[in-house]
Amino acid sequence: MSQAVIADLVAELGPVWQARRDAELSERPRRRAVGAGAKYKLVFVDRLLATLVHLRHGVTHDVLACWFGVDRSTVTRAIGEIRPLPAERGCRIAPGLRLRTLADVIAHLGATGQTGI
């Protein structure tokens, strides 16, 4: 993916992620002062990049944790938060479908009438 595509994804998905995060925080009663508590070790862009690398190349959470210098559970949580965002945008494959080659991807897109990134 080019830097322009990643920048577009950040611009499109960043506000959606932030709105969801704010909504989750406002739904429950506050136990601490505003700004208290642990800070995210992975900012949104890092979360998005980790998710894209995981989805595109199948890199394990352990390897991503080493690359980003965080714990595996942080990467798992980040991917769990970010993964639904591209799926809602239309970048998803039906459960159980394995596309192993580029030819498989092209055939699937042609059969379903979808377009790829």
pLDDT digits (tens, 9 = 90+) for 11-37: 888 898 888 888 887 887 877 777 777
Q: Which two tokens stand for residue 78?
A: 């980040």
**Which residue range forms the structural domain that includes residue 57?**
3-112
Residue 117 within any structural domain of the chain:
no
- Kindly tell me if the per-residue pLDDT of 111 is higher than 70: yes
Tell me the HSE value of 72 on the side-chain side, using a 13 A CA sphere.
5
Residue 48 within any structural domain of the chain:
yes
Based on the number of CB atoms within 10 Å of its own CB, is 97 exposed (0-12), middle (13-18) or buried (19 or more)? exposed
- How many independent structural domains does the chain possess? 1
Separation between Cα atoms, residue 58 and residue 19, nearest integer Å? 28
Separation between Cα atoms, residue 47 and residue 71, nearest integer Å? 13
Q: What is the pLDDT of residue 2?
A: 76
Separation between Cα atoms, residue 80 and residue 110, nearest integer Å? 29
**Global confidence as pTM:** 0.67
